Amino acid sequence: MIVCLCRAVCEQMLGETIASGASSVDAVTSACGAGGDCGACLPMIADWIERRTENGYAHATR
């Protein structure tokens, strides 16, 4: 599924970016571009980061 339509960032890329150490929305945007245009995906990115961090999956690949 595409998370960021503007930059064509899919769930897999988002998961890999977070697993690589991007632990904030700004870090994700810097790493893969998601959220850098219209911003509609920013809440979803923040949710992914929160869920991965809460469950200990911040460094696991999806």
Per-residue pLDDT of 13-37, as tens digits, reads 999 999 999 999 999 999 999 999 9
Q: What letter represents residue 39's amino acid?
A: G
Instruction: From the options 3.30.70.20, 3.40.50.720, 1.10.10.1100, 3.30.420.340, give the CATH code of 2-54.
Output: 1.10.10.1100
- In contact, 8 and 39? CB cutoff 8 Å: no
Q: What share of the chain is helix, strand, coil (3-state, %, to 5)?
A: 50, 10, 45
Per-residue pLDDT of 39-51, as tens digits, reads 999 999 999 999 9
pTM above 0.85, yes or no: no
**CA distances from residue 2 to 11, 14, 54, 56 in whole angstroms, order as listed:** 6, 9, 23, 24
Six token digits for residue 8: 């064509």
